[in-house]
Amino acid sequence: MQTRPPLRELGLNSGKKARLHRILFDHGLGNGTAFFLPYDQGLEHGPRDFFANPQASDPAYIVKLAVAGGFNGIAIQIGLAEKFYWDYAGQIPLILKLNGKTDIPSDAEALSPVHASVEDAVRLGADAVGYTLYVGSPAQEADFAQYRKVREDAHRFGMPLIVWAYPRGAAIAAKGGNDSFYAVDYAARVASELGADVVKVNFPHPEKTTAVKPAYQAEFSSQQAIDAVVRSANRTLVLVSGGEKAGDEAMLLKARQAMEAGGLGLIFGRNVWQRPYDESLRFVDSLKEILAAHPSE
């Protein structure tokens, strides 16, 4: 089992360290693990994601669910933060997403434009900001440029920066796909090299080897793959995404392997709020039992 680095070894300034400490030790299980509820899918995918549970289309329902479930934080876009978060400000940390796009255009040259600032996050009482970085997209020059400004502002304001490191683009699609071991491993490393404090990744699929680099064509288990992704992120803490809704056993296995690899925790959205309210909370309790077994400093 790999261990995650403690906060004192992450090279954080005092503002970032204070906010991360508040997220990890004053909320959730309070044991240094993280369980976040993301709710940026309305912009990223459209209202179709709410069809499975129509109540989930109401942001107030989601914030209430996050508080009741004892999450470490909720990740939302600025419009929802300004209209709904204030009812629960101080009760649960806010991760303000600073960029986002719709899924209407092709992802062949994906770019997620910035539409909020670190200053907005400070004004709203956020404890972290989130930025989606499309690794491998032909638009990466523009992506890296707008990311640099976000990174500099996050450092200046002492705001932890969580990077949604998502492989995208035609070249990625031709080399194993967005969630291949090759692509996810590369994305984790890019986020670390570009100064992310925390990186959100999809769970890697080592069986997806079409046209990937030779080093990734060997046989790897799922555990070996996620172990390697966490190593590639080194002193950038790793969150594993839930992705599309799947069966309980598959999600619990993903959670166990992520934590065994030394991950910071989980960021599950659709797998939580696409269920009825009571079922959501029961599922959250099962995931928190896994997190409870992996405390850190």
Whole-number Å distance between alpha carbons of 75 and 52? 20
For 198-290, where are the E strands, in sequence order? Answer: 198-201, 237-241, 265-267
Q: What is the spatial distance between Cα 24 and Cα 142, in angstroms, rounded to a whole number? A: 33
Tokens of 16: 């970032």
Query: Which residue of the set 39, 131, 166, 186 is catalytic?
Result: 166
SS3 state of residue 31: coil
CA dihedral 220, 244, 161, 64 (to 10 degrees): -140
Which residue among 16, 97, 175, 200 is the active-site one? 200
Strand, helix or coil for residue 84: helix
Q: Catalytic: 39?
A: no
Is 200 assigned a catalytic role?
yes
Cβ contacts of 44 within 8 Å, gap of 6 or more: 100, 101, 102, 103
Sequence-ordered strand ranges (E) for the chain: 34-38, 73-76, 94-97, 128-135, 161-167, 198-201, 237-241, 265-267
Which residue numbers are catalytic? 166, 200
